[in-house]
Structure 1
Amino acid sequence: MRIRSGGHDYEGLSYVSLIEQPFMILDLVKLREIDVNIAQNAAWIQAGATTGEVYYRISAKSAKHGYPAGICTSLGIGGHITGGAYGSMMRKFGLGADNVLDAKIVDANGRILDRKAMGEDLFWAIRGGGGGSFGVILWWKIQLVHVPQIVTVFTVTKTLEQGRANRLIKVMKQSFPELGLKRKDVFETSWINSVLYIAGYPDGTKPEILLQGKPTMKVYFKAKSDFVRKVIPEKSLNSLWKKFLQDDGLLMIWNPYGGKMSKISESATPFPHRKGTLYKVQYASGWIDGETSMEKHIDWMRKFYNYMAPYVSKNPRETYVNYRDLDIGMNLKNSTSFSHAWSFGYRYFKDNFVRLVKVKSKVDPSNFFRHEQSIPPLKG
């Protein structure tokens, strides 16, 4: 059984099966109820709701409340939080998973459990341990955060000629003075309109567009991710740009860490990429002609990923679980072992992988909930 609620499934594990046939899909897209309680600074949200819908419903109740989750407004909130859920406010408030108060999950025995009934071990595991391993999330109860009534956003565009590596180093070290930010680049708006801005909607778009839900267009891409703990040398950055420009569909996104992210323990949730992380890098290579040029782009992506190995985290080379990557390892049907799953589990969760396996062994020893990179139980 494949469980679909995420909306942005990088390897399609919620709607295809590479290791078992036949299979069924449990689609949670109709579970979209959102109940916002401003007096309690909380909201109950169903797994099929998108982040955009959650943001809109919060803003409709209060201009001073928000939730620190993803910038892509078509993300399904159910799968998003199971992987951690990072966004533009994570340096201030942490992850979406760090701001969860309760949940309702259907376990392997068909019981609907809340936080008290499931126990703290399972509640810990579902807040960042990846989707599809422990049960079917029906609801999340999220903690709302206080946002300013007016927030300020900006975009500064630079070419390589305007911002070479030596300038980039200064930017990172001196609080961005080299961006050359001018008053005309900056405008003040509400939090909900900042969501639209960051998501790339045109100026003047009404927040109601967030209620449209998930897009229906098909996008072809391959993605990978890294966490960087040491400053990349200037010489290496110059070489990096040359490699980067060899592909005609590559995108890199660098997300700065620090702040609240460094103050939360690596073991507080399964998401371990905390103190000492400078930033996360997402690499994505996209194309529009389906399988025609798929092999070319995927091959290039793998080469670029290998090229970056000296500059990113090591032992393990950390990877973000919501950017699933089957290149780093895969389960083998229902007979997977702890040692086999270690290849991807340790990279996604570091030492938290061991605890996740123990939780899995307790709540789903028969491995009912499984997929190509699910958490395996220990065999008796």
Structure 2
Amino acid sequence: MNVSMPSLLPLVLFLLLSQLSKATNEDFIQCLERRSQNSTSVSQVIYTPDNSSYASVLQFSIRNLRFASLPDSQKPLVIVTPIDESQIQTVILCSRRHDLRIRTRSGGHDFEGLSYRTTNNISFVLLDMINLRSINVDIASETAWVESGATVGELYYAISQKSSTHGFPAGLWGSVGVGGLISGGGYGTLRRKFGLAADNVIDARMVDVNGRVLDRTSMGEDLFWAIRGGGGSSFGVIYSWKIKLVQVPPIVTIFTVDKTLEQNATALLHKWQSVAPNVDKDLDIRIQVNCILSNTSAREDKKTIRVTFVSLFLGKIDSLLQLMQLSFPELGLAREHCSELSWIHVLTNRTLVPKVPIKAKSSFVKEPISEEGLEGIWELMFSRDPETTIVVLTPYGGRMSEISESEIPFPHRAGNLYMVYMGVLWAGDTQQALNWIRNLYDYLNPYVLNSPRSSYVNYNDLDLGMNNLQGHTSYQQASIWGKKYFKDNFNRLVHVKLNVDPSNFFRHEQSIPPIPM
């Protein structure tokens, strides 16, 4: 059988690339072993595609099943799970020597999977921080050192073992990695009282592009500013964080109240927009909106909207009921809706983030959305199957409004009533789901903060724009997405990046670029 030369070219190219990747792997691993003070320990934390554990290590922290089946071109050439700072230094230096990029993963919750994949055929090393999860709590100084691979749940538990009256304003989900959470700002139920996780960081240890281990003093205040909310993966590898603990009462109160459209949910949510950001900072009332099936629905398809009011109050039931009667009597909160718990019991009642295919977006609201505007959201949610869409409204105000926009890179402060998180999950047609959430995002345009439209960097969204992974990225191109996340703080982040990583070694689709200004 005669086979033409053009038909052989893809196979030849594939074989050549495979041999090149194998050679690169071997050279990179040899570099790690040569530079390591303990080559035996290094060999135990290296995983290549030939290793039987490679797939399980890669998949373990992938939370978004949209990226669970990665094409070969997007998988890391090597996975390294370091056990100390020296191994991080070695990985960085050997990656630079062999022209490999680095992706750093702590919990694996980023919505676009950028901590463990690329959107282009680029060779990279996955630096998985899963073994770096030590936590040292010092109640006397009300501080703790936490390594970036620890989860939020592990941090909360470690604090609770030392004190029942201390906490930390980290995330809502126990399986989220501390490293990614803090470096993007990080918010939880204590944000209205104490601000973001990044607002309560007082030191850090990181490894920079030259393999140096830096703390706050040696890195300088500009870099320390940048990694607290500006995305640490743009500037280096954050090894650990020193955090300031906050005092919480021994007993707190929670409640959950569900209201459907047939129970006046739209009017209640409309009123909530004026109440939740302005009420006492000890009270946090978040809202979760879902489309569900209900026998009480007047619709032929029996769909309705369920609005769930979820609250944490830093005090006891009696005080909460008095406060709600004054500020939000329309909700009809009663004693039977409430539970008094210790702080740690509130946290352990929270479930883990489910592993599902998901696409998410975010926006910030400065003026209440009209009831008519809310009803337009409901109509869009009705167009999808029940329980496949979610909208979460997170109120601001309190401490969030007291901190300057430029205090850390996270700029979404005073003037914001709440943040909107919108998500869609699916089991079938991916493109249909993506079209739906993009339509919802566009629908909200008249109702949310514009000029530019703002988004939360920890809910990363490649629809907002991307850098060029090969070659130069202009300031104009990068600022399309950068200003949405960081507003005018983007300019300072670019300046810091130019000073600390001018060769742009630490880069990904939405990393801060080093652009002279």
> Fold conserved (TM > 0.5)?
yes
Unaligned residue ranges in structure 1 (runs of 5+):
202-214
| TM-score, length of structure 2 as denominator length | 0.68
By how many angstroms is 1:34 displaced? 0.2
131-140 or 350-359, larger mean C-alpha shift? 131-140
The number of equivalent residue pairs is 362
**What is aligned with 2:332?**
180
**What is aligned with 2:509?**
372
SS at match of 1:316: coil
Output aligned runs, 1:55-74, within 5 Å: 55-74=156-175
Output aligned runs, 1:71-110, within 5 Å: 71-110=172-211
SS at match of 2:259: coil
**What is aligned with 1:280?**
419
Which structure would you say has the larger RCO, counting Cα contacts within 8 Å and 6 or more residues apart?
1
Please state if 1:10 is matched with 2:146. no
Partner of residue 336 from structure 1, selected from 461, 473, 480: 473
**What is aligned with 1:315?**
451
Output aligned runs, 1:249-288, within 5 Å: 249-287=388-426
SS at match of 1:48: coil
234-243 or 183-192, larger mean C-alpha shift? 234-243
SS at match of 1:116: helix
The 2-side partners of 1:123 and 1:60 are apart by 29
Partner of residue 191 from structure 1, selected from 326, 340, 343: 343
The 1-side partners of 2:138 and 2:384 are apart by 48
Cα pair 1:171 1:179 within 8 Å, conserved: no
The 2-side partners of 1:171 and 1:110 are apart by 50
Q: What is the letter of the counterpart of residue 23 of structure 1?
A: F
Partner of residue 44 from structure 1, selected from 132, 137, 145: 145
When residues 367 and 173 of structure 1 are mapped into structure 2, their CA distance, relative to the original with a 3 A threshold, is closer
Q: What is the letter of the counterpart of residue 129 of structure 1?
A: G
The 2-side partners of 1:59 and 1:7 are apart by 25
By how many angstroms is 1:314 displaced? 0.6
**What is aligned with 2:360?**
223
Q: What is the letter of the counterpart of residue 334 of structure 2?
A: K
The 2-side partners of 1:309 and 1:303 are apart by 10
Q: What is the letter of the counterpart of residue 269 of structure 1?
A: I
By how many angstroms is 1:242 displaced? 1.5
Q: What is the letter of the counterpart of residue 176 of structure 1?
A: F
The 2-side partners of 1:13 and 1:152 are apart by 37
Cα pair 2:173 2:351 within 8 Å, conserved: no
SS at match of 1:347: helix
By how many angstroms is 1:79 displaced? 0.7
SS at match of 2:424: strand
When residues 171 and 378 of structure 1 are mapped into structure 2, their CA distance, relative to the original with a 3 A threshold, is closer
Q: Deviations over 1:46-95 (max 9, x none)?
A: 00000000000000000000000111110000011000001101000000
| Larger-Rg structure | 2
The 1-side partners of 2:160 and 2:199 are apart by 20
Cα pair 1:45 1:139 within 8 Å, conserved: yes
By how many angstroms is 1:379 displaced? 4.7
Moved over 2 A (4+): 163-176
Partner of residue 345 from structure 1, selected from 445, 466, 482: 482
**What is aligned with 1:300?**
436
The 2-side partners of 1:20 and 1:357 are apart by 26
SS at match of 1:132: helix
Q: What is the letter of the counterpart of residue 371 of structure 2?
A: E
Q: What is the letter of the counterpart of residue 370 of structure 2?
A: P
Output aligned runs, 1:119-268, within 5 Å: 119-173=220-274, 175-197=327-349, 199-200=350-351, 218-248=355-385, 249-268=388-407
The 1-side partners of 2:110 and 2:374 are apart by 30
Q: What is the letter of the counterpart of residue 395 of structure 2?
A: P
Q: What is the letter of the counterpart of residue 192 of structure 1?
A: I
SS at match of 1:255: strand
Cα pair 1:2 1:23 within 8 Å, conserved: yes
SS at match of 1:25: strand
Cα pair 1:171 1:177 within 8 Å, conserved: no
The 2-side partners of 1:322 and 1:187 are apart by 31
By how many angstroms is 1:20 displaced? 4.5
**What is aligned with 2:131?**
30
314-323 or 244-253, larger mean C-alpha shift? 244-253
By how many angstroms is 1:181 displaced? 1.0
**What is aligned with 2:309?**
none
The 2-side partners of 1:49 and 1:135 are apart by 18
SS at match of 1:187: strand
133-142 or 294-303, larger mean C-alpha shift? 294-303
When residues 7 and 176 of structure 1 are mapped into structure 2, their CA distance, relative to the original with a 3 A threshold, is farther
Partner of residue 324 from structure 1, selected from 442, 460, 481: 460
The 2-side partners of 1:164 and 1:75 are apart by 31
RMSD over aligned CA atoms reads 1.4
The 1-side partners of 2:415 and 2:232 are apart by 26
Cα pair 2:185 2:229 within 8 Å, conserved: yes
By how many angstroms is 1:165 displaced? 2.6
By how many angstroms is 1:150 displaced? 0.4
Cα pair 1:49 1:76 within 8 Å, conserved: yes
SS at match of 2:263: coil
